[in-house]
């Protein structure tokens, strides 16, 4: 962690996460795993949160006043006169039939300007490598396995920021639901198609932690059926 803060290299971050996962996997019932997993979660979530901020993937919606114009803070709004309103109308280069005169604008020919208050849907982050995908997946799995060692199930944790999970989260997910949603994402599909180990891992997780009601078993069967058809 100190090397990552000093040299600003992401590889030290993943080295730190890998060390934590090795410690947790050695003894799932160790009470110290709560602190270790919380530290790993904070590192992973902070990493992807900073990437979203740097790439401007969290657009803040701007408010549009009733007159349809954006107001800049500190600049007084300018009153719009009738002459300015007429000049603002963009006329289409149409012609009257047989007269050669420009036609008056109609609702069909008037060009509408886009509403700046509507922001495009943010792009999704992606895992940079198969090693990064493996470490995040292993963290989610170990977190679930460690919670299963406790006599009482823990409450739903705070939403973690990952490329495979929607931001903002539609609803609070349990540890089991988070792992299954991660494997059901398009980014996970991409890495599972590239590596047979990831695909077998996903199949085992869905069979162990999935259900008929959740749709994981049906999705696993459909993927297996498609792979058999392709040969």
pLDDT tens sequence across 46-91: 999 988 888 766 655 544 455 555 454 444 555 455 555 455 444 4
- Segment 205-228 shows an average pLDDT of 81
C-beta pairs of 187-191 under 8 Å, 24+ apart in sequence: 187/124, 187/126, 187/127, 187/133, 187/163, 188/133, 188/137, 188/164, 190/126, 191/127, 191/130, 191/133
Closest CA to 192 of 227, 228, 159, 231: 227
pLDDT at 82: 53
Q: Which residue has the higher pLDDT, 191 or 105?
A: 191
- CB of 173 within 8 A of CB of 166? no
59, burial (CB in 10 Å: exposed 0-12, middle 13-18, buried 19+)? exposed
The pLDDT value given to residue 124: 54
- Rg for the chain, CA atoms, rounded: 27
- Mean pLDDT lowest among 11-15, 96-100, 128-132: 96-100
Q: Which residue has the tokens 């701007």?
A: 62
Q: What is the value of pTM for the model shown? A: 0.67
Least Cα distance to 211 among 185, 184, 191 occurs for 184
In the structure, what pLDDT confidence band is assigned to residue 227 with cuts at 50, 70 and 90?
confident
- The model's pLDDT over 130-172, given as tens digits with 9 standing for 90+, comes to 999 999 999 999 999 999 988 887 777 788 999 999 877 677 8
* Distance separating alpha carbons of residues 44 and 65, to the nearest angstrom: 39
Three-state secondary structure call for residue 200: helix
Q: Are 139 and 40 in contact (CB under 8 A)?
A: yes
The larger pLDDT score, comparing residue 207 to residue 157, is at: 207
pLDDT (0 to 100) of residue 92: 45
Count of all residues that appear for the chain in the document: 231
Query: Which residues are bridge partners to 95 per DSSP?
Result: 102
């Amino acid at each position: 962690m100190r090397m990552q803060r000093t040299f600003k290299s992401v590889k030290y971050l993943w080295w730190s996460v890998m060390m934590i996962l090795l410690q947790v996997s050695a003894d799932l019932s160790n009470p110290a795993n709560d602190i270790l997993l919380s530290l790993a979660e904070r590192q992973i979530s902070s990493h992807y949160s900073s990437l979203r901020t740097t790439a401007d993937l969290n657009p803040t919606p701007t408010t549009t006043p009733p007159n349809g114009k954006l107001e800049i803070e500190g600049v007084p709004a300018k009153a719009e006169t009738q002459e300015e309103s007429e000049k603002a109308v963009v006329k289409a280069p149409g012609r009257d039939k047989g007269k050669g005169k420009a036609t008056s604008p109609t609702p069909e020919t008037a060009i509408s300007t886009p509403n700046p208050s509507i922001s495009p849907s943010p792009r999704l982050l992606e895992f940079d490598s198969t090693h990064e995908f493996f470490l995040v997946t292993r963290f989610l799995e170990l977190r679930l396995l460690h919670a299963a060692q406790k006599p009482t199930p823990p409450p739903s944790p705070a939403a973690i920021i990952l490329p495979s999970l929607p931001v903002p989260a539609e609803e609070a997910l349990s540890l089991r639901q988070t792992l299954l949603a991660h494997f059901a994402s398009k980014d996970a599909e991409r890495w599972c198609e590239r590596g047979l180990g990831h695909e077998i891992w996903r199949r085992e997780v869905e069979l162990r932690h999935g259900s008929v009601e959740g749709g994981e078993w049906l999705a696993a069967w459909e993927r297996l059926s498609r792979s058999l058809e392709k040969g």
